[in-house]
Chains A and B, each alone.
Chain A
Protein backbone atom coordinates (compact mmCIF):
# COMPACT_ATOMS: atom_id res chain seq x y z
CA UNK A 1 0.00 0.00 0.00
CA UNK A 2 2.77 2.43 0.93
CA UNK A 3 4.67 1.60 -2.22
CA UNK A 4 1.59 2.37 -4.30
CA UNK A 5 1.22 5.78 -2.69
CA UNK A 6 4.93 6.39 -3.07
CA UNK A 7 4.87 5.55 -6.77
CA UNK A 8 1.87 7.83 -7.23
CA UNK A 9 3.75 10.65 -5.55
CA UNK A 10 6.86 10.03 -7.63
CA UNK A 11 4.81 10.01 -10.82
CA UNK A 12 3.17 13.23 -9.70
CA UNK A 13 6.59 14.81 -9.24
CA UNK A 14 7.28 14.15 -12.91
CA UNK A 15 4.99 17.10 -13.56
CA UNK A 16 7.92 19.35 -12.73
CA UNK A 17 10.54 17.42 -14.66
CA UNK A 18 12.07 18.51 -17.91
CA UNK A 19 10.20 17.24 -20.97
CA UNK A 20 11.93 14.66 -23.11
CA UNK A 21 9.97 15.39 -26.27
CA UNK A 22 11.57 16.59 -29.47
CA UNK A 23 9.12 19.07 -30.99
CA UNK A 24 9.67 17.32 -34.26
CA UNK A 25 9.11 19.51 -37.28
CA UNK A 26 10.85 22.47 -35.64
CA UNK A 27 13.37 20.50 -33.63
CA UNK A 28 15.04 17.55 -35.29
CA UNK A 29 16.22 14.52 -33.40
CA UNK A 30 19.97 13.96 -33.71
CA UNK A 31 20.43 10.80 -35.75
CA UNK A 32 23.59 8.70 -35.51
CA UNK A 33 25.65 8.41 -38.68
CA UNK A 34 24.80 4.73 -38.94
CA UNK A 35 21.05 5.35 -38.85
CA UNK A 36 19.44 3.25 -41.56
CA UNK A 37 17.29 5.68 -43.46
CA UNK A 38 16.97 6.67 -47.08
CA UNK A 39 19.08 4.63 -49.50
CA UNK A 40 21.48 6.41 -51.83
CA UNK A 41 23.92 5.39 -54.54
CA UNK A 42 27.26 7.10 -53.92
CA UNK A 43 30.10 8.04 -56.21
CA UNK A 44 33.81 7.41 -55.90
CA UNK A 45 36.35 10.22 -55.29
CA UNK A 46 36.57 10.86 -59.04
CA UNK A 47 32.87 11.49 -59.25
CA UNK A 48 32.16 8.29 -61.13
CA UNK A 49 29.46 5.86 -60.15
CA UNK A 50 30.58 3.30 -57.60
CA UNK A 51 27.90 0.77 -58.47
CA UNK A 52 29.14 -2.00 -60.74
CA UNK A 53 25.78 -3.67 -61.17
CA UNK A 54 26.72 -6.95 -59.47
CA UNK A 55 23.11 -7.62 -58.31
CA UNK A 56 24.32 -8.59 -54.82
CA UNK A 57 22.10 -5.96 -53.19
CA UNK A 58 19.08 -7.18 -55.11
CA UNK A 59 19.92 -10.75 -54.13
CA UNK A 60 20.40 -9.86 -50.47
CA UNK A 61 17.21 -7.82 -50.27
CA UNK A 62 14.69 -9.79 -48.19
CA UNK A 63 11.69 -7.98 -49.64
CA UNK A 64 12.92 -7.80 -53.22
CA UNK A 65 12.51 -4.08 -53.47
CA UNK A 66 15.68 -3.48 -55.51
CA UNK A 67 15.80 -4.01 -59.24
CA UNK A 68 18.59 -3.04 -61.59
CA UNK A 69 20.11 -3.85 -64.93
CA UNK A 70 23.90 -3.86 -65.35
CA UNK A 71 25.59 -2.61 -68.46
CA UNK A 72 29.12 -1.72 -69.56
CA UNK A 73 30.71 1.29 -71.16
CA UNK A 74 33.24 0.99 -73.97
CA UNK A 75 36.19 0.78 -71.53
CA UNK A 76 34.85 -2.25 -69.68
CA UNK A 77 33.56 -0.23 -66.74
CA UNK A 78 30.29 -1.65 -65.44
CA UNK A 79 27.41 0.51 -64.24
CA UNK A 80 23.71 0.01 -63.76
CA UNK A 81 21.55 0.89 -66.74
CA UNK A 82 18.67 1.48 -64.39
CA UNK A 83 18.48 1.16 -60.66
CA UNK A 84 15.14 1.17 -58.97
CA UNK A 85 14.19 0.87 -55.30
CA UNK A 86 10.59 0.54 -54.28
CA UNK A 87 10.55 2.27 -50.91
CA UNK A 88 7.00 1.22 -50.20
CA UNK A 89 8.42 -2.27 -49.78
CA UNK A 90 11.82 -1.42 -48.33
CA UNK A 91 12.22 -2.37 -44.66
CA UNK A 92 15.50 -0.49 -44.20
CA UNK A 93 17.30 -3.58 -42.98
CA UNK A 94 20.61 -2.50 -44.50
CA UNK A 95 21.35 -5.90 -46.02
CA UNK A 96 21.97 -4.26 -49.41
CA UNK A 97 24.61 -2.07 -47.82
CA UNK A 98 26.21 -5.13 -46.20
CA UNK A 99 26.20 -7.01 -49.48
CA UNK A 100 27.63 -4.23 -51.61
CA UNK A 101 31.29 -4.95 -52.49
CA UNK A 102 31.98 -1.40 -53.69
CA UNK A 103 30.37 0.72 -50.94
CA UNK A 104 28.06 2.06 -53.63
CA UNK A 105 24.69 1.55 -51.95
CA UNK A 106 24.43 3.23 -48.55
CA UNK A 107 21.70 3.95 -46.04
CA UNK A 108 21.73 7.56 -44.93
CA UNK A 109 20.36 9.12 -41.74
CA UNK A 110 17.27 10.59 -43.35
CA UNK A 111 13.78 9.30 -42.69
CA UNK A 112 11.66 12.14 -44.04
CA UNK A 113 10.41 10.31 -47.10
CA UNK A 114 6.65 10.60 -46.74
CA UNK A 115 4.67 10.89 -49.96
CA UNK A 116 1.00 11.44 -50.71
CA UNK A 117 1.16 9.20 -53.76
CA UNK A 118 2.39 5.66 -53.38
CA UNK A 119 3.89 5.70 -56.85
CA UNK A 120 6.28 8.44 -55.77
CA UNK A 121 7.96 6.00 -53.40
CA UNK A 122 9.54 4.18 -56.34
CA UNK A 123 12.93 5.84 -56.64
CA UNK A 124 14.74 5.67 -59.95
CA UNK A 125 18.47 5.92 -60.43
CA UNK A 126 18.46 9.72 -60.76
CA UNK A 127 16.64 9.93 -57.43
CA UNK A 128 19.08 7.59 -55.75
CA UNK A 129 22.41 8.76 -57.14
CA UNK A 130 24.03 11.45 -55.00
CA UNK A 131 27.09 13.47 -55.94
CA UNK A 132 29.04 12.66 -52.75
CA UNK A 133 30.79 9.63 -51.35
CA UNK A 134 28.52 8.98 -48.40
CA UNK A 135 29.91 7.29 -45.33
CA UNK A 136 33.06 5.82 -46.92
CA UNK A 137 35.09 8.65 -48.39
CA UNK A 138 38.25 7.94 -50.37
CA UNK A 139 37.34 4.46 -51.51
CA UNK A 140 37.66 3.88 -55.22
CA UNK A 141 36.80 0.37 -56.32
CA UNK A 142 38.35 0.57 -59.79
CA UNK A 143 41.64 1.82 -58.30
CA UNK A 144 42.08 -1.42 -56.34
CA UNK A 145 40.41 -3.89 -58.70
CA UNK A 146 42.53 -5.87 -61.14
CA UNK A 147 40.39 -4.89 -64.05
CA UNK A 148 41.57 -3.08 -67.13
CA UNK A 149 39.64 0.09 -67.71
CA UNK A 150 40.39 3.43 -69.31
CA UNK A 151 43.69 4.98 -68.06
CA UNK A 152 44.52 1.85 -66.07
CA UNK A 153 45.80 -1.43 -67.40
CA UNK A 154 46.07 -4.78 -65.62
CA UNK A 155 48.67 -4.74 -62.87
CA UNK A 156 48.50 -0.98 -62.39
CA UNK A 157 46.06 -0.98 -59.52
CA UNK A 158 47.10 -0.09 -55.97
CA UNK A 159 49.06 -2.91 -54.27
CA UNK A 160 48.75 -5.07 -57.37
CA UNK A 161 51.61 -7.15 -58.84
CA UNK A 162 52.09 -7.00 -62.58
CA UNK A 163 50.26 -9.84 -64.30
CA UNK A 164 52.10 -13.18 -64.65
CA UNK A 165 52.83 -14.33 -68.18
CA UNK A 166 51.43 -17.85 -67.99
CA UNK A 167 52.89 -18.74 -71.43
CA UNK A 168 56.48 -18.15 -70.22
CA UNK A 169 58.70 -20.68 -68.43
CA UNK A 170 60.87 -18.00 -66.80
CA UNK A 171 60.30 -17.24 -63.11
Chain B
Protein backbone atom coordinates (compact mmCIF):
# COMPACT_ATOMS: atom_id res chain seq x y z
CA UNK B 1 0.00 0.00 0.00
CA UNK B 2 1.41 3.34 -1.05
CA UNK B 3 1.48 6.17 1.49
CA UNK B 4 -1.84 8.04 1.32
CA UNK B 5 -0.14 11.45 1.20
CA UNK B 6 1.75 10.47 -1.93
CA UNK B 7 -1.52 9.46 -3.54
CA UNK B 8 -3.26 12.69 -2.53
CA UNK B 9 -0.37 14.80 -3.76
CA UNK B 10 -0.06 12.82 -6.96
CA UNK B 11 -3.77 12.99 -7.69
CA UNK B 12 -3.85 16.74 -7.05
CA UNK B 13 -0.79 17.32 -9.19
CA UNK B 14 -2.06 15.24 -12.08
CA UNK B 15 -5.57 16.68 -11.95
CA UNK B 16 -4.62 20.32 -11.81
CA UNK B 17 -2.14 19.84 -14.62
CA UNK B 18 -4.73 17.94 -16.62
CA UNK B 19 -7.21 20.75 -16.14
CA UNK B 20 -4.63 23.30 -17.26
CA UNK B 21 -3.55 21.09 -20.15
CA UNK B 22 -7.14 20.79 -21.27
CA UNK B 23 -7.03 24.51 -22.15
CA UNK B 24 -4.51 23.63 -24.82
CA UNK B 25 -6.06 20.29 -25.72
CA UNK B 26 -9.53 21.70 -26.21
CA UNK B 27 -8.36 24.56 -28.39
CA UNK B 28 -6.16 22.26 -30.42
CA UNK B 29 -8.83 19.57 -30.89
CA UNK B 30 -11.53 22.08 -31.76
CA UNK B 31 -9.17 23.54 -34.31
CA UNK B 32 -8.54 20.09 -35.77
CA UNK B 33 -12.24 19.49 -36.18
CA UNK B 34 -12.81 22.89 -37.71
CA UNK B 35 -9.99 22.64 -40.27
CA UNK B 36 -7.78 25.07 -38.40
CA UNK B 37 -4.41 24.67 -36.68
CA UNK B 38 -5.23 26.17 -33.31
CA UNK B 39 -2.49 27.38 -31.01
CA UNK B 40 0.84 26.64 -32.68
CA UNK B 41 3.03 29.67 -31.99
CA UNK B 42 3.90 29.64 -28.30
CA UNK B 43 6.40 26.86 -27.74
CA UNK B 44 6.30 23.38 -29.28
CA UNK B 45 2.81 22.73 -30.70
CA UNK B 46 1.65 25.89 -28.95
CA UNK B 47 1.89 24.13 -25.61
CA UNK B 48 3.01 27.28 -23.81
CA UNK B 49 -0.40 28.76 -24.50
CA UNK B 50 -1.33 27.22 -21.14
CA UNK B 51 1.42 29.20 -19.47
CA UNK B 52 0.42 32.34 -21.32
CA UNK B 53 -3.23 31.90 -20.37
CA UNK B 54 -2.36 31.32 -16.73
CA UNK B 55 -0.11 34.37 -16.63
CA UNK B 56 -2.83 36.40 -18.25
CA UNK B 57 -5.40 35.24 -15.72
CA UNK B 58 -3.08 36.11 -12.86
CA UNK B 59 -2.19 39.56 -14.14
CA UNK B 60 -5.64 40.60 -15.25
CA UNK B 61 -7.38 43.09 -13.05
CA UNK B 62 -9.27 41.04 -10.50
CA UNK B 63 -12.25 43.30 -10.18
CA UNK B 64 -15.03 42.85 -7.67
CA UNK B 65 -18.05 44.94 -8.55
CA UNK B 66 -18.90 47.47 -5.82
CA UNK B 67 -22.50 46.25 -5.78
CA UNK B 68 -21.55 42.60 -5.26
CA UNK B 69 -21.75 40.63 -2.05
CA UNK B 70 -18.00 40.44 -1.63
CA UNK B 71 -17.59 37.44 0.65
CA UNK B 72 -19.90 35.18 -1.33
CA UNK B 73 -18.54 36.53 -4.60
CA UNK B 74 -15.02 35.44 -3.68
CA UNK B 75 -16.17 32.20 -2.10
CA UNK B 76 -18.30 30.93 -5.00
CA UNK B 77 -15.58 30.03 -7.53
CA UNK B 78 -13.64 28.17 -4.87
CA UNK B 79 -16.65 25.92 -4.24
CA UNK B 80 -16.73 24.54 -7.75
CA UNK B 81 -13.05 23.57 -7.76
CA UNK B 82 -13.20 22.21 -4.22
CA UNK B 83 -16.32 20.13 -4.81
CA UNK B 84 -15.00 18.62 -8.03
CA UNK B 85 -11.61 17.90 -6.47
CA UNK B 86 -13.38 16.25 -3.54
CA UNK B 87 -15.26 13.99 -5.93
CA UNK B 88 -11.97 12.66 -7.22
CA UNK B 89 -11.31 11.27 -3.77
CA UNK B 90 -13.30 8.13 -4.58
CA UNK B 91 -12.10 7.54 -8.15
CA UNK B 92 -9.90 4.43 -8.30
CA UNK B 93 -7.09 5.13 -10.74
CA UNK B 94 -5.63 1.66 -10.38
CA UNK B 95 -5.94 -1.16 -7.84
CA UNK B 96 -5.36 0.48 -4.44
CA UNK B 97 -4.43 3.85 -5.97
CA UNK B 98 -7.40 5.70 -4.56
CA UNK B 99 -7.46 8.47 -2.00
CA UNK B 100 -10.40 7.16 0.03
CA UNK B 101 -11.73 3.68 -0.57
CA UNK B 102 -15.26 4.52 0.56
CA UNK B 103 -17.95 1.88 0.68
CA UNK B 104 -20.44 4.55 -0.33
CA UNK B 105 -18.23 5.91 -3.13
CA UNK B 106 -21.00 6.62 -5.61
CA UNK B 107 -23.13 8.37 -3.01
CA UNK B 108 -20.16 10.56 -2.14
CA UNK B 109 -19.68 11.38 -5.81
CA UNK B 110 -23.35 12.33 -6.17
CA UNK B 111 -23.24 14.42 -3.01
CA UNK B 112 -20.18 16.32 -4.15
CA UNK B 113 -21.51 16.95 -7.62
CA UNK B 114 -24.69 18.35 -6.04
CA UNK B 115 -22.52 20.76 -4.06
CA UNK B 116 -21.26 22.12 -7.35
CA UNK B 117 -24.65 23.75 -7.86
CA UNK B 118 -23.88 26.04 -4.95
CA UNK B 119 -20.99 27.66 -6.71
CA UNK B 120 -23.16 28.58 -9.67
CA UNK B 121 -26.09 29.83 -7.63
CA UNK B 122 -23.93 31.75 -5.17
CA UNK B 123 -21.76 33.16 -7.93
CA UNK B 124 -24.79 34.34 -9.87
CA UNK B 125 -26.52 35.69 -6.80
CA UNK B 126 -23.50 37.48 -5.34
CA UNK B 127 -22.85 39.23 -8.65
CA UNK B 128 -26.04 41.21 -7.98
CA UNK B 129 -26.72 41.37 -11.68
CA UNK B 130 -29.87 40.27 -13.48
CA UNK B 131 -28.08 38.38 -16.21
CA UNK B 132 -25.86 36.57 -13.76
CA UNK B 133 -28.84 35.69 -11.59
CA UNK B 134 -30.84 34.38 -14.54
CA UNK B 135 -27.86 32.33 -15.66
CA UNK B 136 -27.46 30.97 -12.16
CA UNK B 137 -31.15 30.04 -11.96
CA UNK B 138 -30.93 28.20 -15.24
CA UNK B 139 -27.76 26.49 -14.17
CA UNK B 140 -29.24 25.42 -10.88
CA UNK B 141 -32.43 24.00 -12.37
CA UNK B 142 -30.49 22.23 -15.10
CA UNK B 143 -27.98 20.70 -12.72
CA UNK B 144 -30.60 19.63 -10.19
CA UNK B 145 -32.85 18.06 -12.83
CA UNK B 146 -30.05 16.17 -14.50
CA UNK B 147 -28.65 15.14 -11.13
CA UNK B 148 -31.84 13.18 -10.46
CA UNK B 149 -31.58 10.66 -13.23
CA UNK B 150 -27.81 10.70 -13.22
CA UNK B 151 -28.13 8.99 -9.85
CA UNK B 152 -30.88 6.72 -11.11
CA UNK B 153 -28.83 5.71 -14.14
CA UNK B 154 -25.93 4.81 -11.86
CA UNK B 155 -28.14 2.51 -9.84
CA UNK B 156 -28.18 0.02 -12.71
CA UNK B 157 -24.44 -0.42 -12.24
CA UNK B 158 -24.90 -0.69 -8.49
CA UNK B 159 -27.56 -3.37 -8.93
CA UNK B 160 -25.32 -5.38 -11.25
CA UNK B 161 -22.18 -5.11 -9.13
CA UNK B 162 -23.93 -5.20 -5.77
CA UNK B 163 -21.73 -2.44 -4.34
CA UNK B 164 -21.38 1.32 -4.02
CA UNK B 165 -17.63 0.90 -3.77
CA UNK B 166 -15.98 1.94 -7.02
CA UNK B 167 -13.08 -0.52 -6.68
CA UNK B 168 -15.55 -3.38 -6.35
CA UNK B 169 -17.56 -2.02 -9.27
CA UNK B 170 -14.43 -2.13 -11.42
CA UNK B 171 -13.64 -5.64 -10.18
CA UNK B 172 -17.18 -6.71 -11.10
CA UNK B 173 -16.38 -5.81 -14.71
CA UNK B 174 -13.65 -8.45 -15.06
CA UNK B 175 -15.78 -10.61 -17.36
CA UNK B 176 -17.74 -7.98 -19.23
CA UNK B 177 -17.72 -4.20 -19.06
CA UNK B 178 -20.97 -2.67 -17.87
CA UNK B 179 -21.33 -0.77 -21.14
CA UNK B 180 -22.78 -4.01 -22.58
CA UNK B 181 -25.55 -4.77 -20.10
CA UNK B 182 -26.03 -1.10 -19.18
CA UNK B 183 -25.91 0.59 -22.59
CA UNK B 184 -29.00 2.67 -21.86
CA UNK B 185 -27.72 3.57 -18.43
CA UNK B 186 -24.41 4.62 -19.96
CA UNK B 187 -26.11 6.88 -22.50
CA UNK B 188 -28.27 8.51 -19.83
CA UNK B 189 -25.31 8.95 -17.52
CA UNK B 190 -23.28 10.46 -20.33
CA UNK B 191 -25.98 13.00 -21.23
CA UNK B 192 -26.55 13.82 -17.57
CA UNK B 193 -22.81 14.16 -17.07
CA UNK B 194 -22.50 16.64 -19.91
CA UNK B 195 -25.39 18.63 -18.48
CA UNK B 196 -23.88 18.38 -15.01
CA UNK B 197 -20.61 19.95 -16.11
CA UNK B 198 -22.70 22.36 -18.21
CA UNK B 199 -20.54 21.69 -21.21
CA UNK B 200 -21.72 22.22 -24.74
CA UNK B 201 -24.25 21.44 -26.09
CA UNK B 202 -25.80 21.96 -22.64
CA UNK B 203 -23.96 25.15 -21.71
CA UNK B 204 -27.27 26.88 -21.09
CA UNK B 205 -26.27 28.71 -17.88
CA UNK B 206 -23.56 30.54 -19.78
CA UNK B 207 -25.70 31.32 -22.82
CA UNK B 208 -23.42 34.10 -23.97
CA UNK B 209 -25.81 35.01 -26.77
CA UNK B 210 -28.68 35.79 -24.41
CA UNK B 211 -27.24 36.35 -20.96
CA UNK B 212 -23.87 38.04 -21.56
CA UNK B 213 -21.95 35.16 -19.98
CA UNK B 214 -24.49 33.85 -17.51
CA UNK B 215 -23.50 33.29 -13.92
CA UNK B 216 -19.90 34.40 -14.34
CA UNK B 217 -20.61 37.68 -16.16
CA UNK B 218 -19.04 39.75 -13.42
CA UNK B 219 -16.04 37.53 -12.80
CA UNK B 220 -12.56 38.38 -13.96
CA UNK B 221 -9.00 37.30 -13.40
CA UNK B 222 -8.27 34.16 -11.47
CA UNK B 223 -11.81 33.98 -10.04
CA UNK B 224 -13.06 33.45 -13.54
CA UNK B 225 -10.14 31.08 -13.99
CA UNK B 226 -11.48 28.98 -11.12
CA UNK B 227 -14.80 28.53 -12.89
CA UNK B 228 -12.87 27.70 -16.02
CA UNK B 229 -10.65 25.16 -14.30
CA UNK B 230 -13.69 23.82 -12.43
CA UNK B 231 -15.37 23.10 -15.73
CA UNK B 232 -12.35 21.22 -17.04
CA UNK B 233 -12.02 19.32 -13.79
CA UNK B 234 -15.70 18.44 -14.12
CA UNK B 235 -15.10 17.10 -17.62
CA UNK B 236 -12.22 15.02 -16.32
CA UNK B 237 -14.33 13.79 -13.42
CA UNK B 238 -17.27 12.72 -15.57
CA UNK B 239 -14.90 11.01 -18.01
CA UNK B 240 -13.19 9.21 -15.14
CA UNK B 241 -16.55 8.18 -13.69
CA UNK B 242 -17.81 6.90 -17.04
CA UNK B 243 -14.66 4.88 -17.43
CA UNK B 244 -14.90 3.47 -13.90
CA UNK B 245 -18.57 2.65 -14.06
CA UNK B 246 -19.08 1.46 -17.61
CA UNK B 247 -15.71 0.88 -19.28
CA UNK B 248 -13.94 -1.31 -16.79
CA UNK B 249 -11.85 1.35 -15.05
CA UNK B 250 -8.24 0.31 -14.94
CA UNK B 251 -8.93 -3.12 -16.49
CA UNK B 252 -7.20 -3.88 -19.75
CA UNK B 253 -4.67 -6.20 -21.37
CA UNK B 254 -1.64 -6.74 -19.17
CA UNK B 255 1.01 -5.22 -21.46
CA UNK B 256 0.29 -1.77 -20.03
CA UNK B 257 0.03 -0.89 -16.33
CA UNK B 258 -3.51 -0.34 -15.02
CA UNK B 259 -3.03 3.42 -14.48
CA UNK B 260 -2.16 3.84 -18.14
CA UNK B 261 -5.29 2.00 -19.21
CA UNK B 262 -7.33 4.26 -16.98
CA UNK B 263 -5.63 7.35 -18.40
CA UNK B 264 -6.14 6.23 -21.99
CA UNK B 265 -9.84 5.55 -21.49
CA UNK B 266 -10.37 8.81 -19.63
CA UNK B 267 -8.54 10.72 -22.32
CA UNK B 268 -10.77 9.14 -24.96
CA UNK B 269 -13.85 10.40 -23.14
CA UNK B 270 -12.39 13.87 -22.66
CA UNK B 271 -11.84 13.94 -26.41
CA UNK B 272 -15.42 12.83 -26.90
CA UNK B 273 -16.56 15.77 -24.76
CA UNK B 274 -14.61 18.13 -26.99
CA UNK B 275 -15.96 16.44 -30.12
CA UNK B 276 -19.47 16.97 -28.76
CA UNK B 277 -18.66 20.61 -28.33
CA UNK B 278 -17.46 20.81 -31.91
CA UNK B 279 -20.47 19.13 -33.48
CA UNK B 280 -23.65 19.62 -31.45
CA UNK B 281 -26.21 22.39 -31.75
CA UNK B 282 -27.35 23.88 -28.48
CA UNK B 283 -30.93 23.05 -27.44
CA UNK B 284 -33.36 25.71 -26.33
CA UNK B 285 -33.70 25.94 -22.56
CA UNK B 286 -37.25 24.56 -22.35
CA UNK B 287 -36.26 21.75 -24.71
CA UNK B 288 -33.42 20.89 -22.40
CA UNK B 289 -35.68 20.64 -19.35
CA UNK B 290 -38.38 18.78 -21.25
CA UNK B 291 -35.87 16.29 -22.62
CA UNK B 292 -34.56 15.71 -19.15
CA UNK B 293 -37.83 15.22 -17.30
CA UNK B 294 -40.01 13.67 -19.98
CA UNK B 295 -37.53 11.43 -21.79
CA UNK B 296 -34.42 10.70 -19.77
CA UNK B 297 -36.04 10.50 -16.34
CA UNK B 298 -38.62 7.82 -17.30
CA UNK B 299 -35.96 6.01 -19.32
CA UNK B 300 -33.61 5.88 -16.36
CA UNK B 301 -36.40 4.58 -14.14
CA UNK B 302 -37.22 1.93 -16.72
CA UNK B 303 -33.56 1.02 -16.99
CA UNK B 304 -33.27 0.59 -13.24
CA UNK B 305 -36.51 -1.39 -13.07
CA UNK B 306 -35.57 -3.79 -15.89
CA UNK B 307 -32.03 -4.25 -14.57
CA UNK B 308 -33.29 -5.00 -11.10
CA UNK B 309 -35.92 -7.43 -12.44
CA UNK B 310 -33.39 -9.35 -14.51
CA UNK B 311 -30.94 -9.44 -11.62
CA UNK B 312 -33.62 -10.81 -9.29
CA UNK B 313 -34.63 -13.41 -11.87
CA UNK B 314 -31.00 -14.47 -12.28
CA UNK B 315 -30.58 -14.81 -8.50
CA UNK B 316 -33.77 -16.78 -8.04
CA UNK B 317 -32.87 -19.28 -10.77
CB < 8 Å neighbour of B279 from A11, A17, A21? A11
Q: Which of B34-42, B152-160, B172-180 is near enough to bind chain A?
A: B34-42
Residue in A closest to B38 when the chains form the complex, CB atoms: A21
Say if the beta carbon of B16 comes within 8 Å of chain A.
Answer: no
Which residues in chain B, 132-157, are within 8 Å of chain A measured between CB atoms? Answer: none
Say if the beta carbon of A12 comes within 8 Å of chain B.
Answer: yes
Which A residues are CB-close (under 8 A) to B279? 7-8, 10-12
Say if the beta carbon of B260 comes within 8 Å of chain A.
Answer: no
- Tell whether, in the assembled complex, residue B275 and residue A8 are in contact, meaning their CB atoms are under 8 Å apart: yes
Which B residues are CB-close (under 8 A) to A7? 279-280
- Tell whether, in the assembled complex, residue B35 and residue A11 are in contact, meaning their CB atoms are under 8 Å apart: no
CB < 8 Å neighbour of A19 from B36, B275, B276? B36
Say if the beta carbon of B33 comes within 8 Å of chain A.
Answer: yes
Q: Given A4-B280, A8-B275, A8-B276, is A15 in contact with B36 using a C-beta cutoff of 8 Å?
A: no
Q: Which DSSP category, helix, strand, loop or mixed, fits chain B's interface? A: helix
Q: Given A8-B276, A8-B279, is A20 in contact with B36 using a C-beta cutoff of 8 Å?
A: yes
- Tell whether, in the assembled complex, residue A19 and residue B33 are in contact, meaning their CB atoms are under 8 Å apart: no
What's the Cα separation between A10 and B279 when bound, in Å? 9
Say if the beta carbon of B278 comes within 8 Å of chain A.
Answer: yes
Residue in B closest to A5 when the chains form the complex, CB atoms: B279
> Which of B34, B275, B278, B279 has the most A CB atoms < 10 Å from its CB?
B279
Say if the beta carbon of B32 comes within 8 Å of chain A.
Answer: yes
Say if the beta carbon of A14 comes within 8 Å of chain B.
Answer: yes
Say if the beta carbon of A18 comes within 8 Å of chain B.
Answer: yes
CB < 8 Å neighbour of A14 from B32, B37, B276? B32
- Tell whether, in the assembled complex, residue A11 and residue B275 are in contact, meaning their CB atoms are under 8 Å apart: yes
Say if the beta carbon of A23 comes within 8 Å of chain B.
Answer: yes
- Tell whether, in the assembled complex, residue A17 and residue B35 are in contact, meaning their CB atoms are under 8 Å apart: yes
- Tell whether, in the assembled complex, residue A20 and residue B275 are in contact, meaning their CB atoms are under 8 Å apart: no
- Tell whether, in the assembled complex, residue B34 and residue A14 are in contact, meaning their CB atoms are under 8 Å apart: yes
Which residues in chain B, 22-39, are within 8 Å of chain A measured between CB atoms? Answer: 32-37
- What sequence of 0s and 1s flags, for each residue 249-277 of chain B, a beta carbon within 8 Å of any chain A beta carbon? 00000000000000000000000000110
Interface size class of B (residues with CB under 8 A): 10 to 19
Which residues in chain A, 1-45, are within 8 Å of chain B measured between CB atoms? Answer: 4, 7-8, 10-12, 14-15, 17-21, 23
What's the Cα separation between A23 and B37 when bound, in Å? 9
CB < 8 Å neighbour of B35 from A4, A8, A14? A14
Q: Given A7-B279, A8-B279, is A15 in contact with B37 using a C-beta cutoff of 8 Å?
A: no
Distance (whole angstroms) from the CB of B252 to the closest CB of chain A: 23
- Tell whether, in the assembled complex, residue B280 and residue A15 are in contact, meaning their CB atoms are under 8 Å apart: no
What's the Cα separation between A7 and B36 when bound, in Å? 18
- What sequence of 0s and 1s flags, for each residue 278-295 of chain B, a beta carbon within 8 Å of any chain A beta carbon? 111000000000000000
What's the Cα separation between A15 and B33 when bound, in Å? 5
What's the Cα separation between A4 and B279 when bound, in Å? 8
- Tell whether, in the assembled complex, residue B280 and residue A14 are in contact, meaning their CB atoms are under 8 Å apart: no
Which A residues are CB-close (under 8 A) to B32? 14-15
CB < 8 Å neighbour of A21 from B33, B36, B276, B278? B36
Residue in A closest to B278 when the chains form the complex, CB atoms: A11
- What sequence of 0s and 1s flags, for each residue 299-315 of chain B, a beta carbon within 8 Å of any chain A beta carbon? 00000000000000000
Q: Given A8-B275, A12-B275, is A18 in contact with B37 using a C-beta cutoff of 8 Å?
A: no
What's the Cα separation between A10 and B35 when bound, in Å? 12
Which residues in chain B, 1-59, are within 8 Å of chain A measured between CB atoms? Answer: 32-37
> Which of A14, A17, A23 has the most B CB atoms < 10 Å from its CB?
A14
- Tell whether, in the assembled complex, residue A19 and residue B37 are in contact, meaning their CB atoms are under 8 Å apart: yes
Which A residues are CB-close (under 8 A) to B36? 19-21
Please name 16 further chain A to chain B contacts, defined as beta carbons within 8 Å, in addition to the given A11-B33, A14-B33, sorted by A numbering.
A4-B280, A7-B280, A8-B275, A8-B276, A11-B275, A11-B278, A11-B279, A12-B279, A14-B32, A14-B34, A18-B35, A19-B37, A20-B35, A20-B36, A21-B36, A21-B37
Chain A interface residues (CB < 8 Å from chain B): 4, 7-8, 10-12, 14-15, 17-21, 23
Cross-chain pairs A/B with CB under 8 angstroms, 5 sampled = A7-B280, A11-B33, A14-B35, A17-B35, A18-B35
What are the 3 A-B residue pairs with the smallest beta carbon separation, nearest first? A11-B279, A8-B279, A20-B35
